[in-house]
Amino acid sequence: MAKLSLKDAQQTPLFTFDFPQRVYFEDTDAGGVVYHAQYIKFFERARTEWLRYLGFTNSDLERKYKMLFVVSEIAVEFVKPAKLDDAINISVAIENLGRVRVTFHQEIRRGEDILVRARITVATVASESFKPVEIPTDVRKKMEASC
């Protein structure tokens, strides 16, 4: 399996969705630094809001198409720590859009400083069987328009 490089995206995305977030006490460890697992939650929230920006919610997709997005692969590079009360921004950009999988390049920044980079792949699965299903056409079209 090829090693994922987080520093160099395969292509420069034309569109990046940005989601602002504040670091709260509950996000940090005893030293006031964001606990490493919390970054995964930040990335998830940003992808959820990006989907909402496209006009979809996870619950609507499950009801209408009986499908879910599930994380199938994740690679994270921690560059600098975020700290209590920081105003951070989480970006979402599609790096690769397949029939069943979407790979995102995501970053967490404080101002111009990159704090965390991630490459996250999600797959579409049937909500009952968890078997792979194709991304619905109307969802795909909105995703393609955001690439």
18 is catalytic: no
Sequence-distant contacts of 136-145: CB under 8 A, at least 24 apart = 136/61, 136/64, 136/65, 136/67, 139/54, 139/56, 139/61, 139/65, 140/97, 142/54, 142/55, 142/56, 143/54, 143/94, 143/97, 143/102, 144/97
Strands 101-110 and 87-97: antiparallel
3 state DSSP class of 134: coil
Among the listed residues 18, 29, 60, 113, the single catalytic one is 29
The H or E element that residue 77 is part of is strand 67-78
Cα–Cα distance measured from residue 84 to residue 55, given in angstroms and rounded to the nearest whole number: 32
Report, as residue numbers or ranges, the catalytic residues.
29
